[in-house]
Amino acid sequence: MENPDDETAPESETTAAPEPKGKKRRWRRIAAWSLGLLIGIPVVAFGLAYVLLDVRSPQEVLADLDKTVILQNADGSELLKVIPPGGDRQFVPYDAIPSKLRDAIIATEDPTFWENEGFDPTGVGRALVTGVGGGSGITQQYIKKSTGDDDATLLRKFSELVLATKITQQQTKKEIFESYINIISFGRGTYGPASAMNAYFGRKLDDSMTWSEAAFLAGMIQSPSVHDPYASSHEHARKRWSYVMNKLVTRGYVSQAEAVTQTYPEDAIQAPSETRAGRVTYEKYHLKQQVLAELEQVGYPLDRLRGGAMKVETTIDPRAQAEAEKVVKERLQGQPEHFRASLVAVEPGTGAIRAYNGGGWSVHDYAGTPYGTGSVFTPFTLAAGLERGVNVDEPLKSPGQVDFLGEKFTFQGQCGEQGKCTLREAIGRDAQGPFVDLAKKLGAEGVREGARAAGIPETVDGAVTLREKDGFLIGPGIAVGRYPLRPSDMAGAYATFAAEGMRATPHLVSKIRDEKGEVVWERPADKTPAFKGDEALSRRIAGTISQVLTTGLKDRPAALKTGAFQYNETDDNAGGWAVGYTPQLSTAVWVGSDEPRRMRDAAGQKLTGKTIPADMWQRFMNAFHQGVPSRWPAPDGTTAPARPRR
């Protein structure tokens, strides 16, 4: 009788000869040996690793963290040293750790800490399959910090699994937590809860700690150089604080009724001691914070750098940096005290930030803070239109009114007496009407896609850019530059036009070297065609925009767009911009104040992009390009030597 389950049986009446018994036994032995090896090799490897590997004590780890990290300029000269401050590594025994802080950390970092075997099985399984990622609870975090190995490799994950098992068997959970909390960084050069409490709140560590303070400190652990409000903003730090408070509620440590009585401790948070003590200038402090935040993102937090006494090669050009600081200081001398400014310069084609000036007034970084952009946003709208075949030289009737996404925009005589102008003419006149009309035709999402293609990041400090606060809707403000962007974003996105349509991510870190001078990490190049991945299309779009924005420096052509952000419904402005480039450098200058207000200069004149910001831009770019050969895009989008413009 035929086997009904054997669908592959041949349609023949001849029955196949049975397989010899000896052959079957041989296959069984092979299968048994294979299974034994499959199980036995990992078991033996685990056993050997268990015997050979060990976890260092927190005291040993802290001793290694006394090493200095050197940040270098792009030419190898020293930018600054990150020197471990003395007296801020007090070892705190478990019983002296406030219960609120302990609960906040466990709720956020490892909710199953008291029950688990030292690792997350799901995360480890994922790592074994993919070779990267994996669970990272408190025990595993301690092992990473103690070994100084945070590479996303199978070997590191295997070693971490062995050590997590070993330490869990040899120590109590209280001992593990005590070791962990004393070697983790809370930012600002601090290790352990006592130094963190003093650095942020200027108080001793004791049971007077509030839930609000505990949530703030627990929130620092994930990425201290990013979450510190004086590195990002209080708005960003408040979001992180809310995240931790929500974890405390959902995991049963704090009742909802008690949580609503807690507020983000903004007024209690102190400025960093290194700036209060005057050890570094504010300009260098901003640079250091940006570099450290970037290093954390690529897997090299400060404690890992210190443990290896590493040197970090940045992209900063010391000559350009000095000129950026000089220009801002000199140009604002004699202006009203509330005037603030920042300047960021990016190398087209590589994304290397050659100058970063966040201002010399306070720990607030004006180059890393988003502001409304006004009409300096219009090149992105134009790029989106060019991608869809818009002709910049076609005469268009200037609309007197445009209804866009429920808002009425009114314009008067922006294109002169004839009432018609091309987009090329409109951008030169700073006429917003034709561009709001173009935005309506493209759609809000189309405009946003143009800016994203040029290089405006999708998110900044976890907040989605170019959308409403809900992170989903796009309002009519996108047509007139209401959505805030950072000077660093603008310099990076304009650099795409300068690089013939090739987009590269702006960055400050180039290489990391160990104590022996060996390169342990190097930023990979990420240059890519900006628009639809099409190099020819991207070159044409960038070339057209460069021709539209053409202006002049002292001895060469350049592109420049100025603009301002209106103050409420007045005729005054709250801020001014000048953003432009040559093929060698893209620079963004912002001028404004700490709080939105009417900006009038020392002569009583209204601040616009064409006044102080444009003058700063011209001074900086002229100084930078001294001795640099002149080049400029030809009409076909290619770059060629250019004659000096007068």
Helices (H), 263-332: 273-276, 282-297, 302-307, 318-332
Give the Å distances, CA to CA, from 110 to 114, 117, 136, 510: 9, 12, 8, 33
Spell 368-399 as b/e; 16+ CB within 10 A means b. Answer: bbbbbbbbbbbbbbbbbbbbeebebeeebebb
- The secondary element (H helix, E strand) that includes residue 314 is strand 311-314
Q: Pick the closest to residue 456 from 338, 579, 547, 559 (CA basis).
A: 579
Helix axes 99-109, 138-147, angle to 10 degrees: 90
Task: Report yes or no: 411 and 432 within 8 Å, Cβ to Cβ.
Answer: yes
Tokens of 341: 């400014």
What is the C-alpha to C-alpha distance for residues 255 and 456, in angstroms, rounded to an integer?
Answer: 41
What is the C-alpha to C-alpha distance for residues 353 and 338, in angstroms, rounded to an integer?
Answer: 27
What is the C-alpha to C-alpha distance for residues 146 and 144, in angstroms, rounded to an integer?
Answer: 6
Q: List, in order, residues 6 or more apart from 164 with CB less than 8 Å away.
A: 117, 118, 119, 139, 140, 143
195: annotated active-site residue: no
Task: Report yes or no: 146 and 56 within 8 Å, Cβ to Cβ.
Answer: yes
User: 3-state DSSP call for residue 469?
Assistant: coil
Tokens of 564: 């301002």
Tokens of 302: 């400060």
159: annotated active-site residue: no
Q: What is the DSSP string of 488-517?
A: HHHHHHHHHHHTTTEE---BSEEEEE-TTS
Residue that has been written with the tokens 């600081």 in this structure: 325
Query: Which residue among 136, 212, 375, 546 is the active-site one?
Result: 375
Query: Which residue among 109, 160, 178, 323 is the active-site one?
Result: 109
Catalytic residue list: 109, 375
